[in-house]
Amino acid sequence: MSLKVEKLHEHPELLSKCCDLLNQEWPRSRAARMHSLQKSRPDLPCSLVMTPDASGEPPDVIGHSRLSILYAAPDACWIESVIVCEERRGQGLGKKIMEETETLAKSLGYKVAYLCTRDKLEFYSHIGYKQCEPVTPRFSSFAPNAISNPLLPKNNGFQTTICQRQNAANTTKQSSTVARDKSTQPTSVDNNKVGCDKNKNNTLTSVSAADLLMAEKQWMVKTLS
């Protein structure tokens, strides 16, 4: 059976099935997922969907990718949410949807594509991606001043920036508490935040849950020729 890859915003009848496919792999609320998918547009962000080339009822969505803006690098784009349905994996469909995604990126004038992965390093290496330093696909609430350049420092550079901001916030919070009541000790840090300290070797001993999640990923890059 032949397949086709099309822009999701040109086929709104596929929104629901695309939502189901993505939520099978990365569960989130249906409303939030649909809202994100409905943002697809002719430039970016743009979602691509793979379907069987069949007539009649809306076909099943068997693959998806999303091309997004990389704000810190105008000539580069960000590829995310790449998936092929479980029963169709191992048939070369992942490579096909990546080829279509890169073709779209080049047609929009982008010269470089970035992505990150936890467990598909071999696949992306096979289609030409190389490991690189971490990139930030969009402005981060954790470290908005750390992304004037898309390539962040190696090792603990990103975490260090976060920790510096967190420690400054904690110091301000503690100072405010002491000013209100000098007879009491400063209150502890909010349980939703993780303090960041350095040991005598000046290395981080504690980072946030978000940092730990980021550390599990491998960032990759490819020049689009």
Read off the pLDDT of residues 40-50 as tens digits, 9 standing for 90 and up: 999 999 999 99
Residue 132 lies in a domain: no
Joined tokens for residue 104? 């779209």
Residues 91 and 36 both lie in one domain: yes
- Give the number of other CB atoms < 10 A from CB of residue 124: 22
Closest CA to 58 of 12, 1, 23, 94: 12
At 137 the pLDDT is 67
Residue 28 lies in a domain: yes
Name the percent of the chain in helix, strand, coil, to the closest 5. 35, 20, 45
DSSP string, 17-31: HHHHHHHHHS---HH
What are the backbone angles phi and psi of residue 21, rounded to the nearest 5°?
A: -60, -45
In this structure, what CATH number is given to the domain that contains residue 36? 3.40.630.30
- Give the number of other CB atoms < 10 A from CB of residue 29: 9
Residue 204 lies in a domain: yes
Closest CA to 211 of 150, 122, 148, 140: 140
Rounded CA-CA distance 202/128 in Å is: 37
Q: How many CA atoms does the CB half-sphere of 123 hold within 13 Å?
A: 20
At 57 the pLDDT is 79
At 198 the pLDDT is 40
Q: How many CA atoms does the CB half-sphere of 70 hold within 13 Å?
A: 25
Residues 89 and 162 both lie in one domain: no
Mean pLDDT of 115-133: 96
At 202 the pLDDT is 42
Residue 137 lies in a domain: no
Cis before 45? omega within 30: yes
* pLDDT above 60 (res 147): no
> Which one-letter DSSP state was computed for residue 185?
P
pTM over 0.85: no
Residues 37 and 103 both lie in one domain: yes
> What's the count of helices (H) and strands (E) in the chain, helices before strands?
6, 7
At 195 the pLDDT is 36
- The identity of residue 178, as a single letter, is V
Residue 168 belongs to domain spanning: 157-215
What is the number of domains present in the chain? 2
Rg of the Cα atoms in the chain: 21
Residues in the chain: 225
Mean pLDDT of 96-123: 97
